[in-house]
Structure 1
Amino acid sequence: MNNQFRKRIEEQEEEEIHLVEEEPKPKAAVKEGSTTAFFRKLFVDGVVTKESATDMLPFIIFLCVLVMIYIANSHMAMKNIRSIDKLSKEVKVLNWEYKSFKADLMFKSKLTEVAAKVDTLGLKELIEPPKKLVINRDEH
């Protein structure tokens, strides 16, 4: 009898041990956002397996390269637009300077202005019209 009693006690202890092990342990409450839950369902629950993700790796790398080329192209386009704007402003400034110099030259090339400038050199303005020289070739 003693052995039977001992067996019952051991069985009860084993059942208690199993119950203790089977009791759900309280987990730390982790709040998952909708995006986290989506990706967890997508990758963990079996929609996308590790093998299929590995098979898609070259395509994903190709897409990443295309995105980098697209970004570099947009940066280069913005750089070109800025340089075009800068050059167009410079052309406007040079056009204004050209018109200003042209107007100044037109003013300085007037007869009265030229006469005033050469008066300091001792040159005088003609009062009588210039004489015309005529050479007859028949007399030779």
Structure 2
Amino acid sequence: MSNQFRSNKTDEEIESQVEDGILPEVNEKAEIPRNFFTLMFTEGVISKQAATDMLPFIIFIAFLGMIYIGNRHFAENNIRDIDKLGKEVKELSWDFKTLKADLMLKSTQTEVAKEVDTLGLLEPNEPPKKIVITEGEFK
């Protein structure tokens, strides 16, 4: 082996020197896995600068997504409240109709006569009389 610097060494000479311990072993850089995102960022489809420039837009889209989700929850809660109030209105309508029917029954002449009879009041048997006033009597 000579003491000269040779730039055109073959791979076999370099491997033999590494095995003999003359040259230190050079670790190759780890290869970047080839997937969608690494291809997009490394091969120029989207550069790091372009991705950084798009960050405000991406944040804006995420914000709109959160507003959309919140709006959906708000609408579903409103629908539940409307259904609950609709059921309550139906129930109150039934109560109103029941009370109205009871009142109509209790306000008939026979029912009133039964209730008043306990107080000692009687139904008049003779028809009402018409009172006629002439012009000169009232003064």
**Normalising to structure 2: TM-score of the pair?**
0.73
Pairwise CA RMSD: 3.1
Equivalent-residue separation in structure 2 for 1:69 and 1:108 (angstroms):
58
Percentage of pairs with the same residue: 54
The structure that is helix-richer by fraction is: 1
Letter matched to residue 112 of structure 2: V
Q: Does 1:101 align with 2:75?
A: no
Query: Which one of the candidate residues 58, 69, 72 is aligned to 1:71?
Result: 69
SS at match of 1:98: helix
Count of matched residue pairs:
124
Question: How far did residue 17 of structure 1 move?
Answer: 4.1
Residue number in structure 2 paired with 1:59:
57
Residue number in structure 1 paired with 2:8:
none
Residues 109-128 of structure 1 show CA distances to partners (whole Å, capped at 9, x for unaligned) of 00000000011100111111
Equivalent-residue separation in structure 1 for 2:81 and 2:96 (angstroms):
22
Residue number in structure 2 paired with 1:92:
90
Letter matched to residue 113 of structure 1: E
SS at match of 2:35: helix
Question: How far did residue 71 of structure 1 move?
Answer: 1.0
**Normalising to structure 1: TM-score of the pair?**
0.73
Equivalent-residue separation in structure 2 for 1:14 and 1:65 (angstroms):
57
For residues 23 and 65 of structure 1, do their structure 2 counterparts lie closer, same or farther at Cα, with a shift above 3 Å needed?
A: closer
Letter matched to residue 16 of structure 2: E
Residues 28-67 of structure 1 show CA distances to partners (whole Å, capped at 9, x for unaligned) of xxxx8xxx82223223443222111101111111111111
Unaligned runs of 5+ in 2: 4-11
Runs of 4+ in 1 over 3 A off after TM superposition: 12-15, 17-24
Letter matched to residue 117 of structure 1: E
Unaligned runs of 5+ in 1: 1-5
Equivalent-residue separation in structure 2 for 1:76 and 1:38 (angstroms):
37
Residues 74-107 of structure 1 show CA distances to partners (whole Å, capped at 9, x for unaligned) of 1111111111111111111111111111111000
Equivalent-residue separation in structure 1 for 2:36 and 2:116 (angstroms):
91
SS at match of 1:131: coil
